[in-house]
Structures are given as C-alpha cells and as structure tokens.
C-alpha cells in the first residue's frame, strides 16, 4: 500500500515538473518573440530616423549651395567676405552653444553637450583644417576670383578627395560594394556638372553678356591661382571629415595594431576580409583578432615553424585589432560642432590682417577694414552705417539694402547650422566620411535644376530686390542634371542598403550609446 502511494507521489511530482517545464518554455518562447518584435520595431525606427537625417543633410546642403552666391553678392555692397565669414562663424557658434545648454538642461547632460569631445590637439587639428578650408573657399568665390561657371561643378571633387583619403587614412573598412557605389556617385556627379563646367556663357541661370559677369575684373593668372586655392580649400574641408571619422571609429572601441593605414595595407585588408562563402565584405572584421588586454595573442601558434609563419604574416602588413575598453558615451554632435567652430572662429580672428592686403581683401588700411566690418555687421540686423569722413556715424534703420542682406543672411545661417549638426551626426551614425560626403554632393544636381528654374541677375543690371528672378528654361545643364541625379540617388540608396546590412550582421566591437543630437 505504501509502495503504491509512493509511486503515485512520484508520478504527480514528475507531471508537475513537466508542467513547470512546459510553462517555462512557453514563457521563454513568448519572451523571445516579444524581444524580436521590439528589436524589429527599434531597427525600423532607427532606419527611418537615419534616412530622414540624410534627407535633412541633402536639403541643407542644397540650401547652402543656392543661398551662398546671393548672400555674398549682397554683402559686397556694404561689406566684404571677411565680415561675412566672421559673422557666420560667430552666430553659428552662439546658436550651437544655446542649443547645447538647452538640451543639456532638458536631458541632464550639460557636461556631455559642452565639454571638449576629444583632446585639445585634436580639437585644433580638426578646427584649423575646417576653418582654413572655409576661409580659402569663401575668398576664392568672392568677386568671382574663381570663374562663376566653375564654382559649383568643382565642388564635386570633394567625393574624390574623400575616396583618396579613405585609402590612406581609413580606420574602418568599406566593402567593395560601398566603394563601387561611391565611384558610381562620382560618375553621376560628373554627368550632372559636366555641361555647366564647360559652358562659360551661362552661370546660375544667367546668360552672360559681358566677360566680367562670369570672370570679374581678374586676369587669367589670378583665376588660375585662386582655382588651385579653391581646390585646396575643398581638400582641407574633406580632410577634416576624414580625420573626424578616424576619431569616431576609435571611440567605437576598435584599435588597429601593427602597421599604420596606407594604400597597400588598406587594399590587403579589404581583400583578406572578403567572405568567400557569400562573396560579401564584412568590414571591421580583420583576419586576426586580439582578444586579450595584455596584448599576448593566445591564438598564435607555438611551434618554431608556425612562429616563423606568424612573423612573416606581420611583415605582410596584416592589421590586427583588439577591443578598446572606453568608459562613458560617445561625444555628441553638438559638442563636436561647437568646439570645431570655436577653433575656426579663433583662426578667423587671427587672420584679420589678410583683409588689409591689396588684391586679397577689400580694405587697404586698418580704418577702411574697420569701416567694412562695422557696416557689414550692423547691416545684418537691418541697420545701415554711413561712415562719413569726419568719423561720425549716421545710422538709418530698415534700409532696403540691409533688408535684402538680412533676407539672404539669416536663412543661410540657419541652413548652415542645420548642415553642421546634421553632417556631424550623420558621420557619427554612418562612421564613414565617404558616405557622409557623398550625401552632401547630392546637392549639386539639385542646385543645377534650381538654377534652370530661377536666375541670379547681375547686380549691375538690377537692384537687390530683383537679384533672384523666375526664369524657367530647358538647357543642357538641366538635361544633364536630370540624367545624373538618378545615378547619384541609386548610389546613395545602395550605400544605405549596405549600411543597414552591416547593422544586421553586427556592428564593430564595443559599440557605445549615442548621446546628443539624434
């Protein structure tokens, strides 16, 4: 009798255990499905947000491309390019600083928003490259030192510079598909700007009647010199984004060891990391990995012959990488943009003497320089300063000329601020300078289409109120832009697809949470 009761108890206990196991499996299964649903929702949301960020970057780049010549033309009436540079940099720095303070208070991350995002040497390295590039670029396009019809098409060279810098300074591997897409975008840009590059009789929708409308009062020697400086300025601007990418990839927790970045090592790593089974490239996955913090590679062979083989592999410039243990969060886009502009503003102030050099700036003396600076600064706020010879100022509010300057200046500054923040944030997310620069170059065919609908009338033949005129026309520039734009869009779409695939396959080691502008 007791044996039967004992058997009944055992049967009941086993059935209870089975029921508990079934319930536990069902709970685990439901939790897995819930987590998969949450991850899918989060992934879709991040993708949509990243696509919207790219659209904002393209639109702000297009706005800058359109507004820059209009703004510069109105500034030259009462002021000069130097005043424009300082005003843009100063106001943008103040706006970003206020945004950082506001978001820092709301998110309780004031220190993250305003602190120096990297070492002081890097701050000055990035800021000086950015500021000097902007300085040379604006002086090159000022008063048509670079011929008008060449200014926008030459900007497409930034993507070529970005690809060249990638092969020499890359910190993160790109797949062959991504490199092919980038070269496809270069081809699309060439198709878009080729007609405008060769047509010296039309610029920004205006058919020239005199050579000065396209070339200004300069000789061909001056044009040649400033065209070279213009290309140097674009190279410096692209260099700052490449250096910034290298810093951000290091912040992701990846450290390349062994030989430095070079053309040979980049290509060898690109080929060696190719997945032979699927013919896809998984960047950020080197041939060998270091998994121990002390630097001793436990995976290395122990026999003498195998040690010799390992030494030969090192001489073949196979790059190692190991995870970096970095505490804290990545720097925010606001802090990076803020400190880059602070350094750039210091550089611009230090270069004030260049505006007093004849044939470089408009002022030939300190008093004339100060007159241009004060009148231009006040005119941005609708105040015209009439500097008499006796040194007194007669100020008249809301003059028509200053109204027109403010009409183009403030939209330009807002577009520039949006561009600066979206550019840095896109670079943080994509971790690719090539991808980020490619997004900005999409503005070139869009700008060409805009100038086929509107025209920028010469200032000598019209007043400032009619500087931008409605003038739709079918031109070779419009046709080439319409043909090249789909090629650029397809290349960008494939770059997006490749970026999303990388997110699915796995991100680099030690991904850290993003703070700041999202």
Distances (CA, A) of 307 to 67, 289, 294, 304, 478: 62, 17, 19, 5, 63
Report the length, in residues, of the chain: 518
Look at 164-173, 337-346, 461-470 and tell me which has the smallest mean pLDDT: 461-470
pLDDT at 411: 94
pLDDT at 198: 86
pLDDT at 231: 97
End-to-end CA distance of the chain: 73
Average pLDDT over residues 268-294: 42
pLDDT at 273: 46
| pLDDT (tens digit per residue) in 390-426 | 343 444 444 566 778 888 999 999 999 999 999 999 9
pLDDT at 126: 94
Kindly compute the dihedral angle of the four CA atoms of residues 267, 273, 274, 278, in this order, to the nearest 10 degrees: -160
Nearest-5° angle of CA 66, CA 495, CA 172?
A: 105
pLDDT band of residue 509 (cuts 50, 70, 90) is very low
Best mean pLDDT range from 87-96, 175-184, 351-360, 377-386: 87-96
Spatial contact of 234 and 154, defined as CB atoms under 8 Å apart: yes
Look at 5-9, 224-228, 478-482, 495-499 and tell me which has the smallest mean pLDDT: 5-9
Radius of gyration of the chain measured on its C-alpha atoms:
29
| pLDDT (tens digit per residue) in 287-341 | 334 444 444 444 444 555 555 555 445 444 444 443 443 444 667 899 999 999 9
One-character DSSP codes across 439-476: HHHTHHHHHHHHHHHEEE--GGGS-GGGSEEE-----H
Burial class of residue 96 (count of CB atoms within 10 Å of its CB; 0-12, 13-18, 19+): buried
Average pLDDT over residues 89-114: 92
The more confident residue out of 165 and 29 is 165
pLDDT at 8: 62
Rounded Cα distance, 43 and 504, in Å:
9
Alpha helices in 79-119 (DSSP H): 81-107, 110-114
pLDDT at 38: 58
Rounded Cα distance, 297 and 214, in Å:
63
Spatial contact of 205 and 452, defined as CB atoms under 8 Å apart: yes
Helix (H) / strand (E) element for 40: namely helix 2-78
pLDDT at 366: 87
pLDDT at 1: 55
pLDDT band of residue 72 (cuts 50, 70, 90) is very high
Backbone φ, ψ for residue 170 (5° rounding): -65, 145
pLDDT band of residue 375 (cuts 50, 70, 90) is confident
The more confident residue out of 463 and 344 is 344
**377-385, long-range: CB < 8 A, 24+ apart:** 377/79, 377/83, 377/87, 378/402, 379/78, 379/79, 379/405, 379/406, 380/87, 380/405, 380/406, 380/409, 380/410, 381/406, 382/406, 384/78
Average pLDDT, the chain: 77
pLDDT(350) > 80: yes
Query: Packing angle between helix 220-251 and helix 120-141, nearest 10 degrees?
Result: 150
The more confident residue out of 91 and 391 is 91
Map residue 118 onto helix, strand or coil: coil
pLDDT band of residue 27 (cuts 50, 70, 90) is low
Measured over all CA atoms, what is the biggest interatomic distance in the chain, rounded to whole angstroms? 125
| pLDDT (tens digit per residue) in 53-69 | 999 999 999 999 999 99
Map residue 509 onto helix, strand or coil: coil
| pLDDT (tens digit per residue) in 193-250 | 988 888 888 888 888 776 666 677 788 889 999 999 999 999 999 999 999 998 887 6
Distances (CA, A) of 176 to 230, 319, 434: 31, 18, 13
Residues 6+ apart with CB under 8 A from 169: 242, 243, 246, 261
The more confident residue out of 47 and 17 is 47
């Amino acid at each position: 009798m007791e044996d039967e009761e004992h058997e009944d108890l055992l049967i009941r206990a086993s059935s209870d255990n089975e029921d508990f196991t079934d319930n536990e499996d069902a709970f685990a299964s439901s939790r897995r499905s819930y987590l998969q649903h949450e991850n899918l929702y989060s992934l879709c949301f991040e993708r949509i947000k990243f696509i919207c960020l790219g659209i904002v970057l393209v639109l702000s780049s297009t706005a800058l491309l359109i507004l820059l010549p209009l703004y510069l033309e109105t500034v030259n009436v009462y002021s000069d390019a130097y005043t424009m540079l300082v005003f843009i940099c100063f106001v943008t720095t103040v706006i970003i600083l206020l945004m950082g303070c506001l978001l820092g208070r709301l998110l309780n991350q004031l220190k993250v928003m305003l602190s120096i995002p990297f070492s002081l040497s890097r701050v000055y390295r990035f800021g000086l490259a950015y500021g000097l590039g902007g300085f040379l670029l604006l002086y090159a396009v000022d008063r048509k030192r670079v011929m008008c019809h060449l200014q926008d098409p030459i900007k497409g060279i930034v993507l070529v510079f970005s690809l060249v810098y990638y092969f020499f300074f890359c910190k993160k591997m790109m797949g062959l598909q991504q490199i092919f897409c980038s070269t496809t975008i270069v081809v699309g840009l060439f198709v878009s700007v080729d007609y405008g590059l060769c047509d010296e009789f039309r610029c920004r929708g205006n058919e020239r009647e005199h050579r000065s409308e396209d070339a200004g009062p300069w000789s061909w020697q001056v044009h040649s010199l400033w065209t070279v400086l213009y290309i140097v300025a674009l190279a410096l601007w692209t260099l700052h984004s490449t250096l910034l990418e290298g810093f951000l990839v290091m912040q992701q927790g990846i450290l390349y060891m062994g030989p430095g970045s070079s053309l040979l090592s980049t290509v060898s790593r690109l080929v060696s990391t190719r997945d032979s089974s699927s013919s896809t490239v998984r960047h950020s996955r080197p041939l060998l990995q270091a998994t121990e913090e002390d630097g001793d590679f436990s995976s290395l062979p122990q026999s003498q012959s195998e040690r010799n083989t390992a030494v030969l592999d090192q001489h073949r410039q196979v790059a190692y990488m190991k995870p970096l243990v970095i505490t804290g969060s990545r720097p925010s886009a606001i802090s990076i943009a803020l400190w880059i502009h602070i350094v750039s503003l210091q550089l611009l102030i230090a270069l004030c003497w260049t505006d007093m050099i004849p044939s470089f700036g408009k002022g030939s003396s300190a008093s004339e320089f100060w007159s241009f600076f004060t009148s231009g600064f006040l005119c941005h706020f609708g105040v015209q300063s009439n500097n008499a010879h006796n040194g007194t100022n007669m100020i008249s509010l809301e003059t028509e000329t200053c109204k027109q300057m403010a009409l183009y200046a403030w939209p330009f500054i807002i577009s520039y601020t949006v561009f600066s923040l979206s550019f840095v944030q896109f670079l943080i997310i994509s971790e690719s300078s090539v991808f980020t620069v490619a997004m900005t170059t999409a503005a070139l065919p869009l700008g060409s289409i805009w100038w086929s609908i509107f025209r920028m009338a010469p200032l000598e033949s019209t007043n400032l109120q009619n500087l931008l005129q409605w003038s739709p026309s079918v031109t070779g520039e419009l046709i080439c832009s319409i043909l090249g734009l789909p090629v650029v869009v397809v290349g960008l779409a494939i770059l997006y697809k490749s970026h999303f695939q990388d997110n699915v396959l796995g991100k680099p080691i030690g991904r850290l949470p993003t703070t700041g502008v999202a």
